[in-house]
Amino acid sequence: MDELNFKIRMDKDILVKCVSEQLQLQLTRDELNWKVELVSEDVNFTTKGVYRVLGTVDNEIEWSLILKILQQVEDKLDPQHHNYWKREALVLSTTILDRYSNLFNTPQCYYIEEKAEGTVWLWMEEVDGPFNQTLTKKDFQFLAHTLGSFNGKYMLEPITLQPWICRSWLDSWIKSSQHYSIQVEDYFDMISPTIKEIVESYLKLKKEIPYHLDVLKSLPQVLAHQDLSKGNISISKGALTLIDWQFMSVSALGEDLGKLFGVMLSQGKIPFEEVDAYKRLLLANYIKGLQDSSGWIGKKESLAYSFYISFALRSVWEAPKLVESIIQGNSDKEHNRLFHIVTYQLRTYKEACEIINKKRL
């Protein structure tokens, strides 16, 4: 047995069961040949590793599975934490996502294995798709429309909420981000006047966070993915596949769109020179998807506010990163990237506040 196989200590009977289900055959150990490949290790706090288990049946029929190992983390044991360690396993143990199969694909989970040492192993279908792909404007248009359709369908057919579906995702994420970030005011004397101006605007935003979280709570609430990053999205042949539902929550209508916009901008999938055009495109197509699926006739200003504020509040992570990058002497390229992101977040924050001040919700 090679080192990787030994390291993850697979239960061969479970492997045979999963492959049998995938191929719809009744297999035995002797018919199965396999190997294990590391996809990624220590992906985040709660994911210990992701592995590809692949092989053949009698050296003829090829198969592959994804094995994802979840681990307990001391400050993420609360089912209402935004990154509750066991949430993805609980999502996959239900039929919650089945009702949205006409909108997007999700990987099938063949087996959920709870280990004695406290980890949970998810034996899943390997989804064939170009994850981390370059997304075109047309892709973003399709993605936003599907996201609006998803939220609209939930409004028509809400589910009974399980205790492990997060109800205050953004609040929890903000508190966690602040816990792991530097306090920017402690470094005020070490930054330039231009950055000081940004920091002052950020500190004003920071003081007003509780107010905006309360406003978001007052808006219509829908099921949300909350982790629509480049690695969790695949668009191929007119079909959308979404993976990693670890952050599933019930959040304000439009909030998931803000997360998508923010993460894609940070990951370089949205070019800065076209950021306004992308923001308009995402909102317009999200609204169209919402209307197409539910006949929604709510206030567009409320949607715009939720979209803008959830994007702008991502500055609680990136504003401290900007200051940290400067004091650590990182590259000008990194400074400029963070400078443009935070500047745009704060500009969008002003737009969100204008909607509130004009009482258009």
User: Tell me, what's the pLDDT at 1?
Assistant: 42
CA 81 – CA 77 distance, rounded (Å): 7
What does the pLDDT read at residue 128?
80
Q: Compute CA distances 125 → 53, 186, 247, 257, whole Å.
A: 10, 48, 20, 27
Q: What is the pTM of this model?
A: 0.94
Closest CA to 254 of 291, 216, 281, 228: 216
pLDDT at 4: 60
Beta-ladder partners of 41? 49
Residue 269: phi and psi, rounded to 5, are -85, -15
Side-chain half-sphere CA neighbours of 348 within 13 A: 25
What is the structure's pLDDT at 358?
85
Ramachandran angles phi, psi of 9, nearest 5°:
50, 60
Q: What is the token pair recorded at 160?
A: 């009974």
Q: Amino acid identity, residue 219?
A: L
Predicted pLDDT at 7: 58
Q: How far is CA 17 from CA 12, 110, 117, in A?
A: 9, 8, 22
Backbone φ, ψ for residue 224 (5° rounding): -135, 150
Instruction: Give pLDDT < 50 ranges for the chain.
Output: 1, 6
Q: Looking at residue 160, what DSSP letter applies? A: P
Residue 316: CB atoms within 10 Å:
21
SS3 133: coil
pLDDT of residue 143: 97
* The two three-digit tokens of residue 241, written as one number: 């596949």
User: With the CA atoms of 26, 28, 33 and 35 taken in that order, what torsion angle do they form, in degrees rounded to the nearest 10?
Assistant: 90
